[in-house]
């Protein structure tokens, strides 16, 4: 029987609760980076995607349909590491503010 602390078990969380620095894994299990920014469509109340900082210094974007799961420990993508490596983010994204 595994010795697992119930307080540290992995569980799903809302995308808006994913903190900066959370590991991001491709569908093949390879870690492709860490969350740099959550991009939210405030008007629609839906996820646009994640800005991901790779260990090689590259910054890439994972669009919402490419996000399979968000948990308290990681973000998992629907695409493999090779597909994700082909994506680059040319400029930093900024969150969209709701119109007042």
Pairing between β-strand 46-53 and β-strand 31-41 as defined by DSSP bridges: antiparallel
The whole-angstrom separation of Cα 65 and Cα 38 is 14
Number of domains the chain is built from = 1
Residues 6+ apart with CB under 8 A from 17: 70
The answer as to whether 37 is a domain residue is yes
For tokens 């602390």, the residue is 5
- Predicted local confidence at residue 100, as pLDDT: 42
The answer as to whether 96 is a domain residue is no
The answer as to whether 54 is a domain residue is yes
**In this predicted model, what pLDDT tens digit does every residue of 45-85 receive, in sequence order?**
899 999 999 988 899 999 999 999 999 999 999 999 999 98
**In this predicted model, what pLDDT tens digit does every residue of 21-32 receive, in sequence order?**
999 999 999 999
The answer as to whether 97 is a domain residue is no
Q: Which structural domain, as residue segments, surrounds residue 20?
A: 11-85
Q: What share of the chain is helix, strand, coil (3-state, %, to 5)?
A: 15, 35, 50
The CATH number that applies at residue 73 is 2.30.30.240
Please tell me the pTM assigned to this model: 0.81
The answer as to whether 100 is a domain residue is no
């Amino acid at each position: 029987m595994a010795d697992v602390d119930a307080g540290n078990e992995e569980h799903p969380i809302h995308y808006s609760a994913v903190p900066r620095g959370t590991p991001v894994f491709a569908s093949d299990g390879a870690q492709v980076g860490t969350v740099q920014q959550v991009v939210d469509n405030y008007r629609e109340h839906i996820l646009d995607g994640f800005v991901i900082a790779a260990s090689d210094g590259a910054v890439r974007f994972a669009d919402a349909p490419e996000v399979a799961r968000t948990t308290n420990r990681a973000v998992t993508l629907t695409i493999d590491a090779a597909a994700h490596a082909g994506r680059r983010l040319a400029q930093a994204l900024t969150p969209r503010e709701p119109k007042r």
